[in-house]
Structure 1
Amino acid sequence: MARRIAAFDWQDTELGARSGWSGSLNANIQMLLGCPVPLVMLWGKAGTMIYNDAYSVFAGGRHPFLLGKPVEEGWPEVAAFNRHVVDTVLAGGVLSYRDKPLVLHRNGQPEDVWMDLHYSPVVDEAGVPAGVIAIVFETTERVLAEQARTEAEQALYLLNQNLEERVGLEVKARAAAEDRLRQVQKLEAVGGLTGGVAHDFNNVLQVISSNLQLLKLCVGDDARSQDRIKAANAAVARGAKLAQQLLAFARRQPLSPTVVSPARMAEAMSDLLRRAVPESIQLDVSIPDGAWNLYADVTQLESALLNLVINARDALRDAGAIRIEVANLVRTEDDPVNGGPDLPPGEYVRISVIDGGPGMTEDVKARAFEPFFSTKPEGHGTGLGLSMVFGFVKQSQGHIDLRTAVGKGTTVSLYFPRTHREDTPDDEGVVVSDMPRELTVLVVEDNADVRLSAIDMLAQLGHRVMSAKDGDAALAVLQQTEGIDLLFTDVVMPGTVRSSELARIAGGPPYNARVIFASGYTRDEIFHDGRLDEGVVLLSKPYSIEDLARTIRQVFAQRG
């Protein structure tokens, strides 16, 4: 925020017109920047806007276009209200509103909001009101919750008291909905936490992995040292798999969706699935002719299906039958059974894994998708299988339904929206163009240890390496240096220049550099609607020197 304020040209506004106000203005700006609650200062008759980070979050997509603008120009949809505020407070008044209803355009669309607002004057050095300080608390969520609660209470009051059975059904349905909501909120909270943990964990693994690989080159043919490095690398691989499972649950794994034919997928997986269960367990696969296609990451879908089969196998304890069923489903408003109450109407491909095992109690069912929860003995699994499936399905805009009862087995059904696109064989004919023996690579990474390890690995591959700690520094290097062939950048970094913007600049004229993103946690920079943005090449941490070399070759590939 300090950088944004520093970049503001005071001389272009009326703020710089009265030098006698400079001391008061600077003091008020420092107070405003240091406050953790949303604050905005409207300076002068025009109400020129200066605000802190918390207010920029409230402003949404309108930030940073508001900074330094008259308030009526910045928020034209509420111009009359803001003009009344500025005129009243500059005249010495104080205004306060509780749950004030407004319609704002923060992210391109009008939205109804409610806010607690407090306005008071800011005086200049002569003691004359020169601006307005506004404290902004958005109360939309609470107001909507209170409205919903009031409406529910009114509806309940209007029910006929003699219809006890109806009341009982309504209460039961509401309790079930609230229970589902609490469960989803709990999983969302844990998912956010696990995503952040996975990011930091992957950075640590990257430093360990890269140094182990470089150390392996140094020790030569020393068998004992090589064995120890191999064991350490195996531990890194297990840690990377654990982090991937956490990201899958958190719905932050990078997906590469394609059109999937269930019949072709089952055929390709048949040997793998049959090897996953002993001969004492019967495995049946039922896929009807004309099964619809779906759109998902086929690798993750296969992993999810394999996880469900393994869970069913463990539940059966080496005796019984597992059935995999694929079905086309049209869900309508009048169909409350298929898919459960949370499945919206539409056309779906349903993939079910059914076992005749002991089933689950209600307590176990309620926690089945929680990460690290398992009914297996200690040392037999991480408890991440079902949670990973849950995260992948939700990230793919799908739905998961668990039906189980003690003594009646378990059915886990995955619902994916139908796609009308046809599946096509993998593209062929990709050839690698001639690539310079030595590339000039700009490495951008805010973590110093990860940055140094990436530099060492690229140098080991024979490339000339430059580095920067954030997007701002990288942009300066890019503008001052000719001949940068490759931008190798982290996704999430500090600074005003975001990685996606840096990649856009570096990849366009006059630089025309190739771009590789590297990250252990993509967030929303290059990742939208459950999948990577088109054209993005992502190298997931931790990566090996072989992965790095292969990805560099990939971005310098062209179709023949």
Structure 2
Amino acid sequence: MAHRIAAYDWRGTELGAREGWSGSLNANIQFLLGCPVPLVMLWGRDGVMVYNDAYAAFAGGRHPFLLGKPVEEGWPEVAAFNRHVVDTVLAGGTLSYKDKPLTLHRHGRPEEVWLDLHYSPVVDDDGVPAGVIAIVFEITERVLAERKRREAELERSKAEQALFVLNQHLEERVAQEVRARANAEDRLRQMQKLEAVGGLTGGVAHDFNNVLQVIASNLQLLSFAVGDDPRLQARIHASNAAVARGAKLAQQLLAFARRQPLSPTVANPRKMIDGMSELLRRAVPESIQLKLTVPRDIWNLFVDLTQLESALLNLVINSRDALRGNGVIGIEVANLTVQDGAQEPAIELPPGDYVRFSVVDAGTGMSEEVKARAFEPFFSTKPEGHGTGLGLSMVFGFVKQSQGQIDLQTAVGQGTTVSLYFPRTHKEEAPDAERPVLGNSADELTVLVVEDNPDVRLAAIDMFAQLGHRVLSAKDGEAALAVLQRVEGVDLLFTDVVMPGTVRSSELARIASHPPYKAKVIFASGYTRDEIFHEGRLDEGVVLLSKPYSIEDLARTVRKVFEV
């Protein structure tokens, strides 16, 4: 019954029974009615619609109002498209569309649909096209599913791209972290090596200075004994010069080991550079230009001025040698503020204010291998006899002992920049004071010499005796306490810093300088350790005479402590 209803035209006359219909047309109608796929026949020039149940389902709420109506009237929203189809096919053509998008009004609302459409002519018994057979396949679900799939693929591709970029960034960050860790480990190994060498160096310097002290003391006493004999005095003078060179070498070793006693003061870098500018200019030939750059608002710093001047002079001499007689050496001093852990290039500085000294040259530069060893003691690229290899190592030790940082930037053929960073101080520079004028000699004193090395102790006793003082001696702190308790009127305690035993030199000095003894105290040492200086600085009120010392040095120091 459904097929018969579908085959009624708009006049209610059964198509198969109409007069004048050809047998081929009736046959097409019978085929249309029995086909399981959506088929519609558009008859005549108007395209009157006759369709099967499958097409009725496709039409949705538009069925049965489409049946028997011209196609342009039945589907007005696509009238132009259908007119083109009817005209083309009735003229003998065929049409096919794949994935054809159309907007159709079905189920009471407009819908966007996608169709596969095939149009063929229906001929009458004479073989003339009299209508159009349309096969309609709706593929909307497939198209929407494909669209969702492509969108999902696009989203997945975007996610994969984002993941790829993230992985790239992560790999870069990991690589950066690995490089940073490797650099940190290299710096740590370098620092550990320098620390180990420094510890060994300090111990060697201590023993070396004791040996030099024995030699120097006996040479001076021998000089008094031989009188004015010019031949012997010349030999003594040559020996004293060798002792002086050895003492300078020991001082450089202690500077590298960060064991030289520093006497820091509040200083203005501009005044310091102005004061040593002539010395710096004399250190370089006229063919090398020395360019000094110091701002007027430079901050003060708390540092041992003598050691800082020596460090800058060392760096200028290194730059002079690297320039090989021609060029410019720049000394640049600047204020630097590090905030929130921000770093200077290639150096780590805690947040704070710093004063930076940079010595810059455009000389030969250093290779990476040479740079890695530049601060090692006795390492030098200079020819034999042209340097000890202690210049940079001494600068390194002094800066570190002053709670500063040092940075070396260099490359072969691109010159070298050495930068020293010192913490800023907010203290004001002390006004210049006149130095006290020392007297010619002190009165006869009772001196207690405390020294564990018997040769050094004997040399000190002879020196004090030569100066006209009464001398007592002890080999360690315990023996010295016994002498203090036994003998009244000890005026001066002259003690080595590093001694064996349970009584440390600092404790012995504290006891001797307080009631009931009230003795003055002079420390003598070639290696102070941490007995009388902390954080790289001599404790307040400490008087230190560094070994090896001359009899003149001893007399001057004795006069100084008794004039205070």
Task: Tell whether the structures are fold-level matches, with TM greater than 0.5.
Answer: yes
Cα distance in 2 between the residues matched to 1:400 and 1:326: 14
Secondary structure in 2 aligned to 1:207? helix
**Cα offsets for 1:443-462 (capped at 9, x unmatched):** 00000000000000000000
1:425 is displaced (CA, Å) by 3.4
Cα distance in 1 between the residues matched to 2:298 and 2:379: 34
Give the equivalent residue in structure 2 for 1:254: 261
1:434 is displaced (CA, Å) by 10
Moved over 4 A (4+): 159-162, 431-436
1:428 is displaced (CA, Å) by 2.4
Matches within 5 A, 1:196-215: 196-215=203-222
8 Å Cα contact 1:518/1:541 also seen in 2: yes
Give the equivalent residue in structure 1 for 2:292: 285
8 Å Cα contact 1:432/1:556 also seen in 2: no
Secondary structure in 2 aligned to 1:255? coil
Cα distance in 2 between the residues matched to 1:193 and 1:328: 36
8 Å Cα contact 1:461/1:549 also seen in 2: yes
Aligned length: 399
- Give 1:193's match in structure 2, choosing from 176, 200, 216: 200
> What amino acid sits opposite 1:535 in the alignment?
G
> What amino acid sits opposite 2:391 in the alignment?
G
Give the equivalent residue in structure 1 for 2:504: 498
Cα distance in 2 between the residues matched to 1:160 and 1:444: 70
Give the equivalent residue in structure 1 for 2:176: 169
Give the equivalent residue in structure 1 for 2:112: none
- RMSD (Å) for aligned C-alpha atoms: 1.5
8 Å Cα contact 1:435/1:556 also seen in 2: no
* In the alignment, structure 1 residue 336 sits paired with structure 2 residue 343: yes
8 Å Cα contact 1:433/1:556 also seen in 2: no
Give the equivalent residue in structure 2 for 1:298: 305
Q: Report which of the two structures shows the higher radius of gyration computed on alpha carbons.
A: 2
1:423 is displaced (CA, Å) by 1.3
Give the equivalent residue in structure 1 for 2:520: 514
1:497 is displaced (CA, Å) by 1.1
Cα distance in 2 between the residues matched to 1:173 and 1:494: 45
Give the equivalent residue in structure 1 for 2:316: 309
Give the equivalent residue in structure 2 for 1:405: 411
- CA distance 1:334–1:531, change in 2 (3 Å): closer
Secondary structure in 1 aligned to 2:183? helix
8 Å Cα contact 1:209/1:233 also seen in 2: yes
Give the equivalent residue in structure 2 for 1:437: 443
1:218 is displaced (CA, Å) by 0.4
Matches within 5 A, 1:411-430: 411-428=417-434, 430=436
**Cα offsets for 1:322-377 (capped at 9, x unmatched):** 00000000012352334x34221110000000001121111111111000011101
Cα distance in 2 between the residues matched to 1:171 and 1:414: 28
1:171 is displaced (CA, Å) by 1.1
1:293 is displaced (CA, Å) by 0.7
Cα distance in 1 between the residues matched to 2:480 and 2:342: 55
Cα distance in 1 between the residues matched to 2:170 and 2:264: 51
> What amino acid sits opposite 1:553 in the alignment?
R
- Give 2:387's match in structure 1, choosing from 371, 381, 385: 381
8 Å Cα contact 2:509/2:521 also seen in 1: yes
- CA distance 1:521–1:162, change in 2 (3 Å): closer
- Give 2:282's match in structure 1, choosing from 265, 275, 278: 275
Give the equivalent residue in structure 2 for 1:245: 252
8 Å Cα contact 2:347/2:407 also seen in 1: no
Higher alpha-carbon deviation: 329-338 or 207-216: 329-338
Cα distance in 2 between the residues matched to 1:449 and 1:232: 18
Secondary structure in 1 aligned to 2:424? strand
Cα distance in 2 between the residues matched to 1:244 and 1:370: 15
> What amino acid sits opposite 2:222 in the alignment?
L
The TM-score normalised by the length of structure 2 is 0.69
Matches within 5 A, 1:30-429: 163-333=170-340, 335-338=342-345, 340-428=346-434
Secondary structure in 2 aligned to 1:504? helix
- Give 2:459's match in structure 1, choosing from 442, 453, 456: 453
Unaligned runs of 5+ in 2: 1-165
> What amino acid sits opposite 1:447 in the alignment?
N
**Cα offsets for 1:362-399 (capped at 9, x unmatched):** 11111110000111011100000000000000000000
1:432 is displaced (CA, Å) by 5.3
Cα distance in 2 between the residues matched to 1:295 and 1:436: 34
Secondary structure in 2 aligned to 1:419? coil
1:435 is displaced (CA, Å) by 7.5
- CA distance 1:361–1:463, change in 2 (3 Å): same
Cα distance in 2 between the residues matched to 1:342 and 1:405: 20
8 Å Cα contact 2:267/2:301 also seen in 1: yes
Cα distance in 1 between the residues matched to 2:442 and 2:372: 57
1:495 is displaced (CA, Å) by 1.3
> What amino acid sits opposite 1:275 in the alignment?
R
- CA distance 1:409–1:436, change in 2 (3 Å): closer
8 Å Cα contact 2:341/2:350 also seen in 1: no
Give the equivalent residue in structure 2 for 1:543: 549
Cα distance in 1 between the residues matched to 2:429 and 2:172: 51
> What amino acid sits opposite 2:190 in the alignment?
Q
Secondary structure in 2 aligned to 1:539? strand
Secondary structure in 1 aligned to 2:174? helix
